[in-house]
Amino acid sequence: MQDSDAILQERVNQEYKYGWVTDIEQDIFPPGLNEDVIRALSAKKKEPEWLTEWRLKAYRHWLNMKQPDWAKLQVSPIDYQAISYYAAPKSKEDGPKSLDDIDPEIRATYDKLGIPLVEQMALAGIAVDAVFDSVSVATTFRAKLEELGIIFCSFSEAVREHPDLVKKYLGSVVPYTDNFFATLNSAVFSDGSFCYVPKGVRCPMELSTYFRINAGNTGQFERTLLVADENSYVSYLEGCTAPMRDENQLHAAVVELVALDGAQIKYSTVQNWYPGDAQGKGGIYNFVTKRGKAMKGAKLSWTQVETGSAITWKYPSCILQGDNSVGEFYSVALSSLKQQADTGTKMVHIGKNTRSTIVSKGISAMLGQNTYRGQVLIGKNADNARNYSQCDSMLMGSECGAHTFPYIDVKNPSGQVEHEASTSKINEDQIFYCRQRGISTEDAVSMIVNGFCKEVLQELPMEFAVEAQKLLGISLEGSVG
Amino acid sequence: MSALLEIKNLHAEVEGNKILKGINLEVNPGEVHAIMGPNGTGKSTLAQVLAGHEAFDVTDGEALFEGEDLLEMEPEDRARAGLFMAFQYPVEIPGVNSSYFLKAALNAIRKHRGEPELDAMEFLKLAKAKMAELDMDPAFLKRPVNEGFSGGEKKRNDIFQMSILEPKLCILDETDSGLDIDALQVVAGGVNRMRSENRAIVVITHYQRLLEYIVPDYVHVMYDGKIAKSGGKELATELEAKGYGWLEKGGAAPAHAGA
């Protein structure tokens, strides 16, 4: 083994030295995936050797894996060799120092998407780490956070400046062997966000990242790592929209959360990627692995509003490892047009007195298919673990579908698991009642759906909740009447 | 001067069942009309057709609201033009805050009238004043629309909405059903406060009891999809004494009420 490692190492260096130097200057890699591509990617990002090796180990593992097909999804075959694994916006390597340094065209794109970055920062006091394609182009409020010892930066930067932290926690919740998409991500992740909150620090502002997918035919492989040290608190917002386009775009992100003893992480997502047109053409394929680990007395809370993507495959999960740890999952998933969503959560109770709550609201309209898939596992030693799950589905029209697959596995006799589920049709009488009061059909639908999702929406931070409400209304335009 | 509401030879059916078979009715501003009759004669259908419920097909006749073709208008446009219906069974809308709902309704109507929209503070002030009149707890505003309300609370909430929206024509569809005598008095009080020379009220009821509190100018009796008899308020008392049975023997005469 050591011999082959040595040979490999030599080869890595050779390839880097001779084969790929010029390619590193490119802003976009040609399509294709092999070890050389991974080395080039790693080199382009000036990564340390251990990380290059980690990527390669993941890649080799991935070669022996198969794309999973257990979800209730119809996925067109994905040609992984037809994807380009790196794209960067055209800008100088040094990167921008302030908003003024950002390409006006890129800023115009943000504006078109209705996200006034500048305004957001000024008004909401949000530190924004904006990801345009694969490279971070704006990071703000850094100084304020630095005063408290909070690190919030792009993943690449964290690798350069805080390698010990990254090395310690990368893959500690989602190992590189975890699943097909997470393993692919481990091999080729381009960039993402990193956050570390020191012991006892309460992060005073919501941390926010806006994701964009823009370059054609480029898979996007984000990697996010959040570490909340003992007794700290952080709330993180992730929101995305993507411009219209006509090809399927693969997105396979990994998010790892580490909540050490007594820490709390609140992670909120509003996802609105291009869902494809009415024929189902052109939308984003979203295969995401999100998982958090909660140590003693720690709390993890996932809140998501999923309205976009042609395909959503996503199960933000909590490993409740420490005694008295708490996991929460609040989700709204909306599938309209020909969208398919197979989403839910996994609550793994390992520690004693662990508690988890699942509230899932699925909305299906037009030809949308919505599946809730959730697993509650109560381990042998998890005395007095408790779970409460509630899954409600709303159907709009007669051609959509709602499905629920709850898996419950209790290995400790003191465990308590409650599961409630309901399916209802949007009520014509409710819409008529609203219209009789002067409210338009569209506003009525938006109002009723938002009411249905209220328990989830109220978990979102204020400014995000408003955005999410609008989004639900917009996503359902034309689906009734 | 044209009537506020003018219904001519109105026919309507649901899933092929003919329910309204030639309704004629004229309602002018300032008037209070009561429509009575046995169950299943089409009283509620008339209200629903006027409000624009899509379950019913109008097969003949017309309905004009201030001279405009009401039947061509969308339900929300009818509401914005000033037609309000208090529902026989007000629906629950879980998770939707009552205050948010009613403010959206009021502002949609104000916008239509060319009036400035009310902000949250202005709305709250208005709502609280009206709630006091109806003896309602302001905490109602924070509750989801009708969710978990008792029958009486739902009816009271509808009347509250009516008082906020200030329609030109109020149609009360069996608002008295399910109310105890105290609630009935409160609701009737709310309706009576709404009486004005610019507004007309149509009260649909099975029982004469409500008309002791909301005294109508005209009473119409519906039978088998038509107005079988019209008269003054004394007709209600007569019906109370005689019941509806005599209608079957055909005392029906075409009705023309209104000034």
DSSP string across B25-55: EEE-TT-EEEEE--TTSSHHHHHHHHHT-TT
- Predicted local distance difference test score (pLDDT) of residue A475: 73
Give whichever of A101-115, A162-176, A247-261 has the largest mean pLDDT.
Answer: A162-176
Q: Average of pLDDT values for A210-228?
A: 65
Sequence-ordered list of residues with C-beta below 8 angstroms from that of A357, at least 6 positions apart, any chain = A327, A328, A329, A387, A388, A389
β-pairing, A284-294 vs A317-320, is: parallel
Dist. CA A290–CA A179, nearest whole Å: 12
Instruction: Look over chain B and give the mean of its residue pLDDT values, rounded to a whole number.
Output: 91
Kindly list the residues from chain B whose CB atom is less than 8 angstroms away from the CB atom of residue A453: 95
Token pair, residue B79, equals 């509401």
Query: Which of A58-67, A279-288, B7-16, B139-148 is predicted least confidently?
Result: A279-288
pTM, rounded to two decimals? 0.80
CA dist., res. A20 & res. B240, Å (int): 98
3-class DSSP assignment, residue A121: helix
Residue B20 and residue B43: Cα distance in Å, rounded?
9
Contacts of B101 in chain A (CB under 8 A): 434, 437, 439, 447
Q: Is A50 part of the contact surface with chain B (CB cutoff 8 Å)?
A: no
- Residue A138 pLDDT more than 50? no
Residue of B76, B91, B94 lying closest to A438 (CB–CB):
B76
CA of B30 to nearest chain A CA: how many angstroms apart?
22
**Given A430, A441, A443, which is nearest B104 (Cβ)?**
A443
Q: Is the pLDDT of residue A136 over 90?
A: no
Mean pLDDT of A278-285: 79
Sign for the pseudo-dihedral over CA of A181, A187, A189, A195:
positive
Confidence class of residue A117 from pLDDT cuts 50, 70 and 90? low
CB pair distance less than 8 Å for A438 and B105:
yes
User: In this structure, what token pair is assigned to residue A188?
Assistant: 């080729």
What is the structure's pLDDT at B108? 96
Q: State the pLDDT at residue A20.
A: 28
Residue A317 has pLDDT above 90, yes or no: yes
C-alpha A34 chain-centroid distance? 25
Neighboring chain A residues of B76 at a CB cutoff of 8 Å: 435-436, 438-441
CB contact under 8 A, A448 and B96: yes
Q: Per mean pLDDT, which range of A9-18, A213-222, A232-241 is the poorest?
A: A9-18
Nearest to B171 by CA among B205, B196, B213, B128: B205
Contact B51 A437 (CB under 8 A): no
**B108/A438 CB distance under 8 A:** yes
Contacting residues of B for A430, CB less than 8 Å apart: 91, 93
B91 CB neighbours in chain A (<8 A) are: 427, 429-430, 433
Pairing mode, strands A326-335 and A299-306: parallel
When pLDDT is cut at 50, 70 and 90, the band that residue A96 belongs to is: very low
Residues of B in Cβ contact (< 8 Å) with A455: 95
Cβ contact, residue pair A436, B79, below 8 Å: yes
Inter-chain touch B51–A436, beta carbons under 8 Å = yes
Residue A402: closest CA among A373, A364, A366: A364
pLDDT computed for residue A5 by the predictor: 53
User: pLDDT, tens digit, for every residue of A390-439?
Assistant: 999 999 888 888 899 999 999 999 999 999 998 888 888 999 999 999 99
Residues 443-462 of A with CB under 8 A from B: 443, 447-448, 450-455
By CA distance, what is A452's nearest residue in B? B95
Bridge partner list, B229:
B221
Classify strands A191-197 and A249-251 as parallel, antiparallel or unpaired: unpaired
pLDDT over threshold 90, residue B92:
yes
Interface test with A, best of B76, B83, B118, B166 (most A CBs within 10 A): B76
* Contact between chains at A438 and B112 (C-beta distance less than 8 A): yes
pLDDT recorded at residue A469: 80
